[in-house]
Amino acid sequence: MLTLEYHGDVAWLTLNRPEKQNALTFEMFVAIDQAIKKLKKNRQLKAVVLQGAGDNFCSGLDVKSVMKQPSAILRLLFKWLPGNANLAQRVCIDWRTLPVPVIALIDGNCFGGGMHIALGADYRIASSRAKLAIMESRWGLCPDMGSGPLLPSTMPYDKALMLTYLGTPIDAQEALHVGLVSMVSKDLHYDCDKLLSQLLTRSPDALAAIKKVNQAAYQQNRRATLAKETFSQIRLLLSKNTRIAMHNATNEEHKPYQQRAKW
């Protein structure tokens, strides 16, 4: 379900369920988390490339697979303190803890959890056929995989709200326009290799320092934002309007929403 290969000093991590559009299972969350920890210890590492096998990056969470394991849901969401990152959040934000450039190659569908993982990368190169979306709002929920601390350094406030409010897929050119991707490519691997060839000529210490300084400049208070993600999601899961949203997402006949709670 996940492969990690090294081409010289560059690690290539591939989400490997092409028959399911690389939809995320609990086991994949664990494997990604472990891969990040392994890569962080590798002092020879110069860069990381994230990609999906087949024609898609990742279609998001494999809901049926995860729902079959109630304990897996708890393990995904559990955290000791609200400001800590749980497993679902770590696979997104912990790419930013690696002191090397991280590049996501986005082809086909990049939805939900897949989009959150891609947001953790420093660069996102999308194919011209890519579709991207953060979809939690369609189910009456808010994004809770750690994208909260990352979106402010990626997109303008109004564009980030539009993306997360609507949950509607956008194409690669629109994603480039709003800042969600770094580049639109006709040949993902060619443009990735071109970028890598430039990055690898720079001192790895300089790249690590530049990444750390820019994160300090751009990043909001991470712990406070992660805590807000968690508390907001818990409130939403208990909300009657969330149940209505889930009904409306799966039925042609839509129920009206009740009065908004006090937030």
What is the reported pLDDT for 72?
78
pLDDT digits (tens, 9 = 90+) for 42-89: 999 999 999 999 999 999 999 888 878 778 778 888 888 888 999 999
Of 119, 238, 229, 224, nearest to 181 by C-alpha is: 119
87: its two tokens? 């497993």
Percent of the chain with pLDDT over 70: 100
pTM of the model: 0.92
Complete DSSP assignment for the chain: -EEEEEETTEEEEEE--GGGTTPBPHHHHHHHHHHHHHHHT-TT--EEEEEESTT-SB--B-HHHHHT-HHHHHHHH--SSTTS--HHHHHHHGGGGSSS-EEEEE-SEEEHHHHHHHHTSSEEEEETT-EEE--GGGGT----SS-TTTGGGTS-HHHHHHHHHH---EEHHHHHHHTS-SEEESSHHHHHHHHHHHHTTS-HHHHHHHHHHHHHHH---HHHHHHHHHHHHHHHHT-HHHHHHHHHHH-SSPPPP-PPPP-
Q: Is the dihedral of CA 146, 151, 157, 161 positive or negative?
A: negative
148: its two tokens? 């909260």
Domains and CATH numbers, the chain: 2-187 (3.90.226.10)
Instruction: Give the type of residue at 53.
Output: A
What is the reported pLDDT for 80?
84
Element (H, E) at 165: helix 157-166
What mean pLDDT, rounded, does the chain reach? Answer: 94
pLDDT digits (tens, 9 = 90+) for 168-204: 999 999 999 999 999 999 999 999 999 999 999 999 9
